[in-house]
Structure 1
Amino acid sequence: MASSPHVSNTNDAGLTSELATEVNEYGAEQSKAYPDKIGFAATLPLPYVDESIAEIDRARTNQASGFTLPTNANGTYLGDPSLDPIMEKLNEQKTLVMLHPNEPKPLAKDVNSDIPAPIMEFFFDTTRAVTNMVMHNVFNRYPNIKFIIPHAGSLLPVISDRLALAQKLNPNLKDEQVDLATVLATQYFDVAGMVLPHQLPVLQQVSDPTHLLYATDAPYTPAAQVVQLTKELENTGLLSEATKQMIFYKNGKQLLDELK
């Protein structure tokens, strides 16, 4: 599973495809060697359509548990109509798709340039990409895909009500194009990163508790920080013990069982 920088940074369809295949073959080898411990989510060579469709077939042959998509690939954002054939292919059967933010394209120069992109820009890019998916009705058009939205939904829970107001300024927008609330209520979320004490409680107000999944962002998040954040989840009084059990184990197992 590739994070940022994504394999698309090669800016070449052939090289991007080769790199995605190499990454996925390695994941498949580990999964076959340790089938009771390791699964893998296949990376696709976005934004290249034919190459991505071929990689979907290859990954399914290798028993990938799911797929991972970047919020944008060289400036082509999820939800872009050019990516519809890829979504159609993923939708052919029940499929798990994990989203992960990428550095925005283009990235504004000389604005907060000393702050590493993952701290703020990743949140903005997840919010931007998922909103674009809502605008292009991706979640309704491809119901066989279960999406996992990263980092406790980033800023999406905060702007959900605000997005609904967009029709006041643009009456041409259809109801489903601003219905972020339904997406938050039906899709899945990982809780990687610093989601306490504020972010996770806000997400819980708009999402299903059975749709929260533990994640670590390792290895980009150092091991010591992963342990610290995990202990915060384990020890917080903001979550019930039942919810903790769901986040750490039950929800993930149920999701994977449903896709078998």
Structure 2
Amino acid sequence: MMPNSRQNLPKTSESISPLTVTACAHHGAGDPNHVKEDGLSTHGFQADGPIIDVHAHIYPERYLDFLERSGIDPASTAIARDMNASDEERDIQARLRQMDEANVAYQVVSLTPQSPLIEDRSTAVQAARLANNIYAEVLQRHPHRFKAYAAVPFFHPQEAVEELTRSIDELGFSGVAINALPAENRALIDPEFIPFFEELNRRKTVCYIHPSGNAAFSSPLLNHQLEWVNGAPTEDAIAVLHLLKGDYINRFPDIKFQIAHLGGDLPFLAQRLEDNYTDWGSFRSSPREALRSIWFDAANFFGPSLVMARNHVFDPNKILAGSDYPYFQNDKRDLYTRAITYIIESGLSNEDINNILVHNPVRLLGNIFTAQPE
């Protein structure tokens, strides 16, 4: 149910304007003109519009409880609990304070990897609707700080299309987020899922692909707790390789595919992929060209990787700032700020930095980011 009143919500300023990132407005202080003396030091870099973080997560406790009641292993939801990342207003306010410290105007939030990948059709639909309704409540409370990608019952393509339609047309969401590897013996490009991608293509919308946290079902990774250390970027790359093998970039040219974590190891494999195409026919079309048609978020946090990817592999107008919030927070809160400062300090030109922080998200999602008080 949508909240009927905001009278009891803690106050926070919702206005962000073009800024010089040398100090930061602290909205939790209740004063949009308040500047922290120990603000963000970024050598005087000036962003020429609102900074947008396209990779962040909200994990509602009641949704995680529903997953576990539905038979989902609690071990898989544990990584989303106790992270101060629920939809409760105390967690949202803590999030806003960190956003303000980093001068981030908006987060685009998604549920992945806690997607409703449930075999029972009815339960999967209930889970997706519950999650999206909760996200809609957050967007209603803070329309000038958050946008959202929908969760869908991906194992059930017709129902996934229906929930996608509801989320975009009725709830005002900006696209969909799905897991990179939905199950051990199922891939995104399996024929059963084609109707879902056909609808995404018809709508010309964003399909955000994020790791599942299953380490690509690799025992050498899982047995040594490497599912997030190396398993996640491996999944990022595998998902893109699946898209390339299925020629989905050409088959569905109007889907805006967005990949997490700078694509994992893909930037370092670019020449190898192209050689496999030209010499062995491993792909139907050029991987190098396809990679320049895909959007990648920069939740990688290592400047040289970002510079190499921008200069040699990806389209510079399709690289986006991303934090992977809520991870690397709590007593390491400066790491949220790092998601922005590492881009600024990477050695890229001011034009490139402004594109990544400000303009490329608008190119991806449209002019939906307004800096207006509520």
TM-score bin, normalised by smaller chain: 0.7 to 0.9
Q: Map 1:1-260 onto structure 2 (within 5 A).
A: 1-8=110-117, 10-61=118-169, 62-75=171-184, 76-104=186-214, 107-111=217-221, 113-167=223-277, 170-171=280-281, 173=282, 175-176=284-285, 179-194=286-301, 196-204=302-310, 205-222=312-329, 224=333, 225-236=335-346, 238-257=347-366
Alignment partners' CA distance in 1, 2:116 and 2:304: 33
Instruction: State TM-score, norm by structure 1.
Output: 0.88
The answer to whether the 8 A contact 1:77-1:132 is kept is yes
Number of matched pairs: 254
Alignment partners' CA distance in 1, 2:284 and 2:220: 37
Structure 1 residues 72-81 or 37-46, which shifts more?
A: 72-81
Equivalent position amino acid for 1:181 in 2:
R
Structure 1 residues 105-114 or 155-164, which shifts more?
A: 105-114
Alignment partners' CA distance in 1, 2:340 and 2:225: 24
Deviations 1:166-213 (A, max 9, x none): 357755x5542xx2211221221100132x133212211111211111
Q: What is the Cα deviation at residue 255 of structure 1?
A: 2.5
Change in Cα spacing, 1:46 to 1:29, as seen in structure 2 (3 Å) is: same
Change in Cα spacing, 1:3 to 1:174, as seen in structure 2 (3 Å) is: closer
Equivalent position amino acid for 2:218 in 1:
A
Equivalent position amino acid for 1:35 in 2:
P
Change in Cα spacing, 1:24 to 1:162, as seen in structure 2 (3 Å) is: same
Alignment partners' CA distance in 2, 1:20 and 1:220: 23
Equivalent position amino acid for 2:191 in 1:
P
Alignment partners' CA distance in 1, 2:298 and 2:176: 18
SS at match of 1:6: coil
Structure 1 residues 75-84 or 205-214, which shifts more?
A: 75-84
Deviations 1:111-164 (A, max 9, x none): 463344121001111111111111111111111211111111211122222123
Alignment partners' CA distance in 1, 2:148 and 2:225: 31
Alignment partners' CA distance in 2, 1:53 and 1:14: 14
Change in Cα spacing, 1:229 to 1:257, as seen in structure 2 (3 Å) is: closer
Could you list the structure 1 runs, at least 4 aligned residues long, displaced by more than 6 angstroms after superposition: none
Deviations 1:189-246 (A, max 9, x none): 100132x13321221111121111111111133252222343222333x211221111
Equivalent position amino acid for 1:202 in 2:
M
Instruction: State TM-score, norm by structure 2.
Output: 0.62
Structure 1 residues 222-231 or 117-126, which shifts more?
A: 222-231
Alignment partners' CA distance in 1, 2:340 and 2:233: 20
Change in Cα spacing, 1:50 to 1:105, as seen in structure 2 (3 Å) is: farther
The answer to whether the 8 A contact 1:72-1:105 is kept is no
Change in Cα spacing, 1:234 to 1:36, as seen in structure 2 (3 Å) is: same
Equivalent position amino acid for 1:193 in 2:
N
Change in Cα spacing, 1:160 to 1:47, as seen in structure 2 (3 Å) is: farther
Equivalent position amino acid for 1:249 in 2:
V
Equivalent position amino acid for 1:197 in 2:
G
Alignment partners' CA distance in 1, 2:167 and 2:366: 19
Structure 1 residues 133-142 or 104-113, which shifts more?
A: 104-113
Identity of aligned residues (%): 22
The corresponding residue for 2:55 is none
The structure that has the greater radius of gyration is 2
